[in-house]
Amino acid sequence: MAFACVSAFAQGGQRDTYTGTIISFGTGLSTRTTTATFTLDLRGRTTDEQAARFLAVLAEGGQDTLLKELNDEDLGSFSVGGRLGRTINAVRVREVDGKIRVFAVFERWIRFAELRGGYNSVDYPFGIIELFIDPKTGRGEGTYIAAAKVRWKRDSKDGEYHVEIENFATFPARLMGVMKRK
């Protein structure tokens, strides 16, 4: 997961705004595809020290403890359509294959009916955004996982520990026509 990434950019004080369109593919009973606009406003970055601390919290206490630890962080906001934005709790930015990779984590929107009904989706408390932006044009694309579960898991092939991200939906939403605003 991007918490462990080494950032190629300044960790604080940099403000970036990205806009675009979310294309969500239907699952379950609602199989229709929907679109909406989004705005990702970033006001800071997660430092290397914070990222290491978050990984340690995940390894020792699991995703619920990590969520509590992240709640104190306010690095921006993510809003869909006209809805109120959610606070971005962790942001890592680095260069990957000539593109700028933006990885953001936040506590997702949970509806009252989910809590009241005790649905399995409540076990997926994170929203995760990953963007790949061309630094020359400021344009790009990405993915959005609206409901994610995060685990610290040992890989059976190499024996190393990795962060595993599980999507509640069948497919992550696509972020299309992403533009960095000036």
Q: How many domains does the chain have?
A: 1
User: Is 40 domain-assigned?
Assistant: yes
Q: Please answer whether residues 147 and 121 qualify as being in contact, where contact means their C-beta atoms are separated by less than 8 angstroms.
A: yes
Instruction: Tell me the per-residue pLDDT of 125-142, one tens digit each, with 9 for 90 and over.
Output: 999 999 999 999 999 999
Within a domain: 12: no
Residue 11 lies in a domain: no
Q: pTM for this structure?
A: 0.85
Tell me the average pLDDT of the chain: 88
Sequence-distant (6+) residues with CB within 8 A of 10 are: 45
Give the helix/strand (H/E) hosting 129: strand 126-133
Contact between residue 94 and residue 9 where contact means Cβ atoms under 8 Å apart: yes
According to the model, what pLDDT value does residue 29 have? 67
Q: What is the pLDDT of residues 60-110, one digit of tens each?
A: 999 999 999 999 999 999 999 988 899 999 999 999 999 999 999 999 887
- By residue range, what is the domain housing residue 85? 2-6+17-181
More confident residue, 8 or 52: 52
Strands 16-24 and 34-42 turn out to be antiparallel
Domain contains 61: yes
Q: Please tell me the predicted confidence (pLDDT) of residue 88.
A: 97
Total number of residues shown for the chain: 182
pLDDT surpassing 60 at residue 11? no
Residues 6+ positions from 154 with CB-CB distance below 8 Å: 160, 161, 162
Identify whether 145 is part of a domain: yes
**Matching residue, tokens 């595809």:** 33
Contact 90, 66 (CB under 8 A): no
